[in-house]
């Protein structure tokens, strides 16, 4: 039953509520009610699956708990312990290194691919766009197993290509200096197609007349990209940088499948370290404290990125 007919029926059956029903029949009120009804499922989902777990994690972080015995309140002891946990800070440094490789790689290649695909005329553009998007549809587990075979030292395809060039075979996932780079490359390969589609959608919103005017003025490709394309993609760039940064600090699946944190803890990132504390050592209170601190770090980084990009917008307007 439509909202308007429902409110009219209420007004007819309950005359004493006539004033309230007239209020409900106003178009503006109906529009607001409809909007709140549409937003309600998302808000409930955010409250139940995002905000409530954060509150529970903070509550558990104030306790000593192994999931088998009752929780014991220890206050801020877990936070004091993590401040002196050298392995935790090393895992944070490993995460930061991974982020420094993953975020620029995804942003740069996605943007360049979007510009390249956008320049292709006709239906061939659709074909290239589909091929580029395909890795995003592969599950992380399947992608991890495939790339483990690809990086295999003796029979892997990557080493096969390297040997054709006359170079020695590499251990890749077995080398502490190469393992994290390999993980970053695989992670980027999986999501570049998705972010390319985002940039393509933003590129289609840029008026063609801007490019025509620039070409008439004699601007070359690089000048057009620097002064037209890049500034008009700033909002999309902000979104991509923030989302990829958050994703880089949450990397886990690829590492669990491909290296299990090794070799020599070279890929022991923060989330994997929290996983070990929680499910291997059964320190749920300490793991919750680590998770809450990691959440605060990601939150602060996201705010800093957002503020930085907005300040850039203000400066450009001035």
Could you report the per-residue pLDDT of 138-190, keeping only the tens digit for each? Answer: 999 999 999 999 998 888 899 999 988 888 888 899 999 999 999 999 999 99
Q: What are 219-261's pLDDT values in tens digits?
A: 888 899 889 999 999 889 989 999 999 999 999 999 999 999 8
Tracing tokens 């420094």 back to the chain, one arrives at 100
Q: Report whether 198 contacts 133 (CB < 8 A).
A: no
In the chain, % of residues over pLDDT 70: 90
pTM: 0.83
What does the alpha-carbon distance between residue 205 and residue 292 come to, in Å, rounded to a whole number? Answer: 39
Q: What are 82-121's pLDDT values in tens digits?
A: 999 999 999 999 999 999 999 999 999 999 999 999 988 8
What does the alpha-carbon distance between residue 84 and residue 99 come to, in Å, rounded to a whole number? Answer: 23
Q: Give the count of alpha carbons within 13 A of 27, CB side only.
A: 0
**pLDDT confidence tier of residue 136, bands split at 50, 70 and 90:** very high
Which homologous superfamily does the CATH classification assign to the domain defined by 94-268?
A: MetI-like (1.10.3720.10)
What does the alpha-carbon distance between residue 234 and residue 209 come to, in Å, rounded to a whole number? Answer: 19
Q: Report whether 270 contacts 95 (CB < 8 A).
A: yes
Q: What are 277-302's pLDDT values in tens digits?
A: 999 999 999 999 999 999 999 999 88
**pLDDT confidence tier of residue 317, bands split at 50, 70 and 90:** very low
Give the pLDDT of residue 68.
Answer: 86
**pLDDT confidence tier of residue 6, bands split at 50, 70 and 90:** low
Domain ranges of the chain: 55-84+283-309, 94-268
Give the pLDDT of residue 126.
Answer: 87
């Amino acid at each position: 039953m439509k909202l308007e007919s429902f409110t009219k029926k209420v007004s007819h059956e309950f005359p004493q509520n006539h004033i309230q029903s007239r209020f409900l029949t106003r178009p503006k009120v109906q529009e607001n009610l409809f909007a709140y009804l549409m937003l309600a499922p998302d808000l409930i989902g955010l409250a139940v699956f995002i905000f409530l777990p954060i509150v529970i994690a903070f509550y558990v972080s104030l306790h000593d708990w192994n999931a088998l015995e009752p929780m014991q309140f220890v206050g801020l002891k877990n936070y004091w312990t993590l401040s002196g946990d050298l392995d935790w800070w090393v895992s944070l440094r490993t995460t930061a290194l991974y982020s420094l490789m993953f975020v620029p790689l995804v942003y740069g290649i996605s943007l360049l691919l979007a510009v390249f695909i956008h320049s292709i005329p006709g239906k061939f553009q659709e074909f290239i766009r589909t091929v580029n998007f395909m890795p995003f549809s592969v599950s992380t587990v399947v992608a991890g197993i495939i790339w483990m075979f690809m990086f295999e030292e003796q029979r892997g395809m990557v080493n096969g290509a390297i040997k054709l060039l006359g170079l020695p075979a590499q251990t890749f996932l077995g080398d502490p200096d190469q393992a994290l780079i390999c993980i970053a490359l695989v992670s980027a390969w999986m999501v570049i197609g998705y972010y390319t589609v985002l940039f393509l959608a933003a590129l289609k919103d840029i008026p063609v007349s801007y490019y025509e005017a620039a070409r008439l003025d004699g601007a070359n490709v690089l000048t057009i990209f620097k002064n037209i394309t890049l500034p008009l993609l700033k909002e999309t760039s902000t979104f991509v940088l923030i989302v990829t940064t958050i994703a880089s600090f949450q990397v886990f699946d690829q590492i669990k499948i491909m290296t299990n944190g090794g070799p020599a803890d070279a890929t022991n990132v923060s989330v994997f370290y929290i996983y070990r504390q929680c499910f291997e050592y059964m320190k749920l209170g300490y793991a919750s404290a680590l998770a809450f601190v990691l959440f605060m770090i990601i939150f602060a980084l996201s705010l800093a990125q957002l503020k930085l990009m907005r300040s850039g917008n203000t400066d450009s307007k001035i």
